[in-house]
Structure 1
């Protein structure tokens, strides 16, 4: 059993993660960042929940780049093959649920 106060987690570098759980090949991690990630496609599905701050999520749909601003409580679901990149607007904390070892 553990209680995690997400607002207390601060990384020493962008996208630093705190491993929360690994269950049946699925990981749940808390990330802290103040810098964009990189364009990527995960090995499986991904659920991305904004816990603190705002994220400009860029993704490609039918070959066209789309942009959505995610605020606290918003969830981004990346299906298999969804190319995407997260750009925080300042400091952000996000909960990511994905296949273990995924990009």
Structure 2
């Protein structure tokens, strides 16, 4: 029941692609993560995935019926990946992001490509 200073929360960890749960809203986690490089192609079959870029830039590559497209999110931008959409977050220069998704949602989705060693398959870590 105390405020969370996001700068302090981000300063408390260095691991990339390993989200920290900073709050819960009903049955949803508010997660923050430091990211750089590429995540993994994955899909969430039953939930949308919300992204807010706090620092840096995040790109989200989407596989759609018409082909692949990249959504570029500069600092301050938000984007929601619709459920059932294959996507791969990418950040060549690094970024700090906030995500909002149902508690227990796996970071690599319900279906995914092979998970590289630098990506953690987790439901988040309580800060």
Q: TM-score range by the shorter chain?
A: 0.7 to 0.9
1:61 to 52, 64, 67: 64
Distance change (3 Å), C-alpha of 1:7 and 1:91: farther
* Residues 4 and 22, structure 2, Cα contact 8 Å, conserved in 1: no
Partner of 1:76: 79
Deviation of 1:14 after TM superposition, in Å, equals 1.5
> Does the CA-based 8 Å contact 1:30-1:94 persist in structure 2?
yes
In structure 2, the gaps of 5 or more residues are 107-127
In the TM superposition, residue 51 of structure 1 has moved relative to its aligned partner by 0.6
Partner of 1:3: 4
Structure 1: runs of 5 or more not aligned: none
1:34 to partner: Cα distance: 1.7
Question: Does the Cα contact within 8 Å between 1:53 and 1:89 map onto a contact in 2?
Answer: no
**Distance of 1:69 and 1:8 partners within structure 2:** 25
Aligned residues: 103
Residues 44-83 of structure 1, C-alpha deviations (whole Å, 9 max, x = no match): 1111111100112101121511112210011110111111
Which SS does the other structure have where 1:9 is aligned? helix
TM-score by length of 2: 0.72
Kindly name which structure, 1 or 2, has the bigger radius of gyration based on alpha carbons.
Answer: 2
TM-score by length of 1: 0.86
Which of 40, 43, 49 is residue 42 of structure 2 equivalent to? 40
- Residues 57 and 7 of structure 1: CA distance in aligned 2, closer, same or farther (over 3 Å): farther
Segments of 4+ moved more than 4 angstroms: none
